[in-house]
Amino acid sequence: MATVELAKAMGAKVIAGVSTLDKGDLPLSAGADTVLAYGRDRKAHKQFKLDVKAACKELDHPQGASLIVDVIHGDLFQDALVSSVRPLGKICLVGFVAGQKPIKPGLLLIKEASIVGSLWGRWARENPVEFRNNMNEIFGFMKDGKIKPRADTIFSLDNYIKAFELFENNEGKGNTVISMNASQHSKL
Domains: count for the chain: 2
Do 161 and 112 share a domain, yes or no?
Answer: no
Do 156 and 83 share a domain, yes or no?
Answer: no
Digit-by-digit pLDDT tens for the chain (188 residues) are 889 999 999 999 999 999 999 989 989 999 999 999 999 899 999 999 999 999 999 999 999 999 999 988 889 899 999 999 999 999 999 888 788 888 999 999 999 999 998 878 888 999 999 999 999 999 999 999 999 877 878 999 999 999 889 878 877 766 788 888 755 555 44
Q: What pLDDT score was predicted for residue 188?
A: 45
Do 78 and 156 share a domain, yes or no?
Answer: no
Distance CA 54, CA 51 (A): 5
pTM: 0.80
24 inside domain: yes
Quote the domain boundaries for residue 40: 2-118
